[in-house]
Amino acid sequence: VKSLSGAIKQLVDEHDVVLFDLPSTMERSEILDAYFPMIQSAESVTFTVSLRKSRFSEVNQLMKYFHNYKVKIKGSIVDHQLKEGAR
């Protein structure tokens, strides 16, 4: 595979589920083009939301972002850990 887009297409074609662990929206916005092939290949997404770190406005922004690309929101996983190192 010669490109990131090609590698992602191959992964999606060969597997039922492909997980991408993307950085926060703030970090990702600086280099959005680098993540576009992953986002473009998604049929649906599941968010992991940290009650300690995530804000409703950020989650809402993500929902709108994926909606614009016609990517379905499958669900969310809520990390309710409120203190650092509580696991």
Higher local confidence (pLDDT), 15 or 22: 15
pLDDT at 40: 80
CB count, 10 Å around CB of 34?
10
pLDDT band (50, 70, 90) for residue 14:
very high
pLDDT band at 30 (very low <50, low <70, confident <90, very high): low
* 3-state per-residue secondary structure call for 21-79: CCCCHHHHHCCHHHHHHHHHHCCEEEEEEECCCCCHHHHHHHHHHHHHCCCEEEEEEEE
